[in-house]
């Protein structure tokens, strides 16, 4: 449907912004129109304007369509973010004061997240202490990690590169240092790294 979580969030965001601009333009237009149309020189005596059922119903209907339209796009995008694709590569995320630990199915562990380009990545997340939040702005994903619960999120990185991970819940003194990097690499590079073979991923030092 959207392909990536980034596309799901961005298209919803753009549609809601567009609705906002539309309403803004209408409000400004009618403010100016009425100020000119009913100016004092043209209407020296105030007139009593009564209700207009048809106009009122039309206004209610139009507002409802706009609000429901925004809700519809929000819900569609949200559902997409919550539906982890079945073919995803699973990574377990452990949040703790104040660092991240990523554990792969073969037991490989890393304090940075290394993923293959173009593959769906499913994250199941747990905390060993307080509430943290997994936030990867480039992929538009943000999910709280709550004690006693397993939460999840997913993403797909289309382009190779490095992307930031931040903790989005204030979790104590060194909350602001609770950072990690997502290394998006070519699938063959990932395979080697995953199997602990000798491979160079520029910038990746932590293990
Ligand atoms: Cu935290």
CA of 133 to the centre of ligand 1 (A): 6
Element (H, E) at 163: strand 161-167
* Residue 143: per-residue pLDDT: 97
**pTM: predicted TM-score of the whole model, two decimal places:** 0.85
> Using 50, 70 and 90 to split pLDDT, how confident is the model at 207?
low
Q: At what angle do helices 53-82 and 5-37 cross, to 10 degrees?
A: 160
CA 205 to the chain's CA centroid: 28
Element (H, E) at 80: helix 53-82
Element (H, E) at 76: helix 53-82
Give the tens place of pLDDT for each residue, 92-105: 999 999 999 999 99
What does residue 17 show for φ and ψ, rounded to 5 degrees?
-60, -40
CA of 128 to the centre of ligand 1 (A): 11
What superfamily in CATH does domain 89-194 come from?
Cupredoxins -  blue copper proteins (2.60.40.420)
CA of 151 to the centre of ligand 1 (A): 15
- Architecture of domain 5-82 in this structure: Orthogonal Bundle (1.10)
CA of 77 to the centre of ligand 1 (A): 26
CA of 143 to the centre of ligand 1 (A): 12
CA of 167 to the centre of ligand 1 (A): 5
CA of 125 to the centre of ligand 1 (A): 12
Contact of 193 with 106, CB cutoff 8 Å: no
Q: Give yes or no for residue 145 having a pLDDT over 60.
A: yes
CA of 171 to the centre of ligand 1 (A): 5
CA of 174 to the centre of ligand 1 (A): 8
Average pLDDT of the residues of the chain? 93
Q: Which residues are within 8 A (CB) of 101 and not within 5 positions of it... i.e. 6 or more apart?
A: 93, 94, 109, 110, 111
Query: What residue ranges do the domains of the chain occupy?
Result: 5-82, 89-194
**Residue 173, Cβ density class (10 Å: 0-12 exposed, 13-18 middle, ≥19 buried):** exposed
CA of 31 to the centre of ligand 1 (A): 47
Q: Give yes or no for residue 70 having a pLDDT over 70.
A: yes
* Residue 79: per-residue pLDDT: 94
* Residue 205: per-residue pLDDT: 77
Integer angstrom CA distances of residue 124 from 84, 89, 121, 186: 10, 11, 10, 23
CA of 180 to the centre of ligand 1 (A): 11
CA of 90 to the centre of ligand 1 (A): 21
CA of 3 to the centre of ligand 1 (A): 29
């Amino acid at each position: 449907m959207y392909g990536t979580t980034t596309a799901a969030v961005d298209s919803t965001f753009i549609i809601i912004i567009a609705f906002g601009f539309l309403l803004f333009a209408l409000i400004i237009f009618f403010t100016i129109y009425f100020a000119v149309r009913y100016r004092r020189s043209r209407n020296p005596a105030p007139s009593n304007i009564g209700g207009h059922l048809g106009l009122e119903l039309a206004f209610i209907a139009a507002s409802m369509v706009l609000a429901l339209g925004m809700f519809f796009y929000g819900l569609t995008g949200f559902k997409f973010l919550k539906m982890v694709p079945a073919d995803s590569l699973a990574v377990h995320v452990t949040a703790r004061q104040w660092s991240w630990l990523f554990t792969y199915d073969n037991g490989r562990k890393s304090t940075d997240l290394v993923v293959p380009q173009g593959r769906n990545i499913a994250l199941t997340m747990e905390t060993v202490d307080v509430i943290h939040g997994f936030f990867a702005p480039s992929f538009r994903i943000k999910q709280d990690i709550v004690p006693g619960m397993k939460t999840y999120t997913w993403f797909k990185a289309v382009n190779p590169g490095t992307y930031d991970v931040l903790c989005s819940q204030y979790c104590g003194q060194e909350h602001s240092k609770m950072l990690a990097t997502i290394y998006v690499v070519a699938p063959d590079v990932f395979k080697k790294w995953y199997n602990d073979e000798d491979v160079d991923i520029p910038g990746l030092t932590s293990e």
